[in-house]
Amino acid sequence: MPAADLQLDWMRAFVAVVDAGSLTAAAPLVHRSQSALSMQLKKLEDAVGRPVLNRGPRHLELTPTGLELLGHARRLLEVHAQAQAALHGPALSGRVSLGVPDDYAATYLTPVLRSFATRHAGVEITLVCEQSTSLLPKISRGEIDLALVSRDRANRGTPLFREPLVWVGAPQHEAWRRDPLPVATYEVGSLVRKHALAALDAQRRAYRVAYNSASLAGQLAAVESGLAVAVLTRCCLPPGLQLLQDKHGLPALPSVEVAVVRSRASAGSGAVDALHAEVLRTLRRAG
């Protein structure tokens, strides 16, 4: 019996789930419901004749067959995108400067860039990894075209999603037991710093700023060495640090709204238009 054809939609669903890490996260990327996405994966596995993903309660894992298939799937999707570009107009080219804080880069930027590069391989992207407090003035001055930022006011850019803030500490040092509480914070003006210190003030918890830096790496070093606890976005919590909660004597924290902002100077750039649309398509979701 001849092997069943591998439909492009099934391959697209497979790649989206692998990149997003779950059916729930992948569904909006391919504009499908979670159940429809699951059905496409089942059809793919039926056609292949073997499982391509092991579905655990908290994560997905590629099987050896899935690992082998993934490279082929990516190449097929890339060739398909190139064919569409060739048939429907000249390939997009140009340059885009994109700003993103370190803590958002790995989690949220990777799927955006991967998807964009598949569609627009001729666009050169320059990444500027700095905190929101540095990126926003650069947007205003037209030094960068787009930026993902922690939204500091309601009319800033286009909202994408909310990111929880969390207290973190090194379990072997238990810095959260000290009085006053040693805190590592971002630079003055940082929204994360503002929320962290306001929460401690509201709790009337004595604290001292033991470390002050705009660098995520510096924050992590301060926490891992036992110098302090810190407030980070949940997406960048590394495996070796402990998530601290009210049972550790620390106050609840709000979430921050992440938005994409665009400079006025980039108006009329097709490359910036395309990347802006890709950011919205990939990252914008409810609540």
pLDDT in tens, 130-179: 999 999 999 999 999 999 999 988 888 999 999 999 999 999 999 999 99
Number of domains in the chain: 3
> In this model, does residue 221 exceed pLDDT 80?
yes
Decide if 1 is inside a domain.
no
Rounded to two decimals, the pTM is 0.71
pLDDT value, residue 287: 35
Identify residue 47 by its one-letter amino acid code: A
By three-state DSSP, how is residue 257 classified?
strand
> In this model, does residue 75 exceed pLDDT 90?
no
Question: In terms of domains, do 44 and 13 share one?
Answer: yes
Angle at 161 between CA 145 and CA 104, to 5 degrees: 60
Q: How many helices (H) and strands (E) does the chain have?
A: 10, 11
Tokens in use for 121?
A: 């391989």
Tell me, what CATH number does 35's domain have?
1.10.10.10
Distance CA 223, CA 228 (A): 5
Task: State which residues form the domain around 199.
Answer: 163-255
Tokens in use for 122?
A: 């001729």
**Backbone phi and psi for residue 236, each to the nearest 5 degrees, phi listed first:** -110, 15
Question: In terms of domains, do 79 and 67 share one?
Answer: yes
Tell me, what CATH number does 245's domain have?
3.40.190.10
Tens of pLDDT, residues 272-282: 999 998 898 88
Decide if 3 is inside a domain.
no
More confident residue, 285 or 100: 100
